[in-house]
Each structure stands twice: as structure tokens, then as C-alpha cells.
């Protein structure tokens, strides 16, 4: 009996080694030189990479929503901080701007507490949304672009004393309605749902909410609570993006994909729509 057990264990161990085997060269994003855009922004640096291809799938799903339900304004949020929502927001906006249909894309950093959009694309954060909502500047005075065609960004601006009240004001509704007539798609990066009211306020104004969920970290109950808060505020959850997903490509698929790339890869953490 012991010999049979040992033989089965040996076969299992060998199978696991085959499954987990990776090539010596791992996929690395090819950073574009002479730019301040951070390497996390794969849609800019390496849009044809495996990660970039996943953002193209996200783009396709968003375009499908626009065709079937006329969705054009999206709030991007997460249950808690650190799930990759801002990186996801920037990557989606850039990938949407890359579409050959030449759609005008606007990305608004509505996290007026800890906004990081400007940091990721190498721009100044002020003036921005907070100055617009306080009446200090007109929206056009805050428009900036990281030299990406069809993409406009409104940074978060200086941190105000009352972010939630500014986001829930009539001014915010008026600004958003005005911008909707000038852009084909608007993406609003907001704070996480659980600690703050901001995403629920914004979600009620937008056509849909895209929830970012980090695999292996975000608890199921936390996601459900976030969903309930958004639904109670009359926000419409349009879809989900799961980050930090690790794929182990079968050897035959690796050989096929490697044939069409000048970089080798077997395992990479990438976003997927769910």
C-alpha cells in the first residue's frame, strides 16, 4: 500500500512541476523613453502586451454598453483602497483614446482627498476639479493632456475641506452635464466605497459604475457591502474589473503567443473583466 501511495505522490508532484514551470524570461513592460507617464500605465507604454490586450477587452465591453444602452459616463471605484482603481481608470481612458474611431475621452480625478491621476501621468494636480466646484476657474482652464491624442484630463485640484459636499452640489451636476455634450466618454476616478460617500454620490450621476476588485485580497462580503451602498444610492453597476489575476499559460498557448511577440512571457498579473 505504501508503494502505491508513493507512486501516486510522485506522479502528482511531477504534474504540479509541469503546471508551475515558467520560462527563464518573464514578460516585462517596455517603457517608452522621454515621458513622465509611470510604467504602471501599460495602455501607454505597451498596449500590445498581454496586459494591454486585457484593457482592449474592457474597451470593447464599454463600447458595447454605449451601443446597447447609450452609456458614456462611468465612475471607476473599488471597495477599499489599494485595489488598483486609479491605475485601472488611467489605463482604460488611454486605451479608449487609442481607438481608431477618434472618440474624445475625458478622465476626471474626483478623488479630491488623495487624487493620484496627475502623478501617474506626470502632470500637476492643480488647478483641477476642486477649483471648478468652488467656482475659482472654469472647466476649460483645468484641461490638461499627457500628449495623448483624444485624451483630456481634469486633475483633482487642491484638497478642499468638504469634498463630499462639493461632489453632491448642483455645480457638480451642471459641470458634468455640460461636459457630457463635449466628450464621447467620461471616466471619473473616485475614492473607494466603504470609507466614503463620494463614489455613491458620483455613481448616482453617472450612467454606470465600474467596480475594481483585487483578486486574493478583497473579501467577498466587502464587495457585497459596496454593491449595496451603490445600489441604495441609485447607482447602476455596469461591470467589474478584476486586478492582480495571475495566469499560467499552457505551453502550447505560450508557444503560439510568443510567436507574435518579441518578448517571452508565461505568467503575468493582468486585469480581466468579469
User: How open is the CA angle 43-47-53, to the nearest 5 degrees?
Assistant: 100
Which pLDDT band, with edges at 50, 70 and 90, does 166 fall under? very high
pTM equals 0.80
For residue range 32-67, list pLDDT tens digits in order.
667 889 988 999 999 988 889 999 999 999 999 888
Q: Which of 5-9, 189-193, 217-221 has the lowest mean pLDDT?
A: 5-9
What share of the chain in percent tops pLDDT 90?
A: 64
- The confidence score (pLDDT) of residue 49 equals 87
**Cα–Cα separations (whole angstroms), residue 214 to 49, 90, 208, 217:** 20, 16, 20, 6
Return the C-alpha cell found at 8.
501516486
- The confidence score (pLDDT) of residue 174 equals 97
Of 75, 156, 149, nearest to 112 by C-alpha is 156
Q: Which of 92-106, 167-181, 253-267 has the lowest mean pLDDT?
A: 253-267
Query: What's the rounded Cα separation, in Å, for the pair 142 and 132?
Result: 8
- The confidence score (pLDDT) of residue 256 equals 42
Of 137, 64, 59, nearest to 105 by C-alpha is 59
What's the mean per-residue pLDDT of the chain? Answer: 83
Of 228, 195, 219, nearest to 114 by C-alpha is 195
- The confidence score (pLDDT) of residue 16 equals 54
**Mean pLDDT throughout 230-252?**
78
Query: What's the rounded Cα separation, in Å, for the pair 16 and 1?
Result: 23
Exposed (0-12), middle (13-18) or buried (19+): which is 229, by Cβ within 10 Å?
A: middle
| pLDDT score of 181 more than 80 | yes
CB atoms within 10 A of CB 28: 13
User: CATH assignment of 22-273?
Assistant: 3.40.50.300
Amino acid at each position: 500500500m505504501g508503494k502505491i501511495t508513493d507512486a501516486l505522490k510522485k506522479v502528482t508532484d511531477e504534474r504540479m512541476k509541469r503546471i508551475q514551470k515558467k520560462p527563464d524570461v518573464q514578460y516585462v513592460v517596455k517603457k517608452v523613453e522621454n515621458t513622465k507617464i509611470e510604467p504602471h500605465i501599460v495602455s501607454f507604454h505597451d498596449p500590445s502586451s498581454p496586459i494591454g490586450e486585457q484593457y482592449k477587452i474592457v474597451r470593447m465591453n464599454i463600447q458595447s454598453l454605449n451601443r446597447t444602452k447609450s452609456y458614456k459616463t462611468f465612475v471607476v471605484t473599488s471597495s477599499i483602497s489599494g485595489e488598483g482603481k486609479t491605475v485601472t481608470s488611467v489605463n482604460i481612458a488611454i486605451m479608449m483614446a487609442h481607438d481608431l474611431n477618434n472618440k474624445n475621452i475625458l478622465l476626471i480625478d474626483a478623488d479630491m482627498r488623495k487624487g493620484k491621476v496627475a502623478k501617474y501621468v506626470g502632470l500637476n494636480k492643480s488647478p483641477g476639479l476642486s477649483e471648478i466646484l468652488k467656482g475659482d476657474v472654469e472647466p476649460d482652464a483645468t484641461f490638461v493632456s499627457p500628449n495623448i491624442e483624444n485624451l483630456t484630463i481634469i486633475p483633482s485640484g487642491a484638497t478642499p475641506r468638504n469634498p463630499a459636499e462639493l461632489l453632491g452640489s448642483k455645480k457638480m451636476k451642471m459641470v458634468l452635464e455640460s461636459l457630457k455634450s463635449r466628450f464621447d466618454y467620461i471616466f471619473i476616478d473616485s475614492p473607494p466605497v466603504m470609507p466614503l460617500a463620494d463614489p455613491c454620490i458620483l455613481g448616482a450621476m453617472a450612467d454606470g459604475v465600474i467596480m475594481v476588485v483585487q483578486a486574493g485580497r478583497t473579501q467577498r462580503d466587502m464587495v457585497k457591502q459596496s454593491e449595496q451602498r451603490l445600489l441604495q444610492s441609485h447607482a447602476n453597476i455596469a461591470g467589474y474589473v478584476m486586478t492582480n489575476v495571475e495566469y499560467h499559460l499552457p505551453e502550447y498557448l505560450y508557444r503560439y503567443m510568443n510567436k507574435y511577440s518579441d518578448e517571452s512571457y508565461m505568467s503575468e498579473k493582468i486585469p480581466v473583466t468579469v
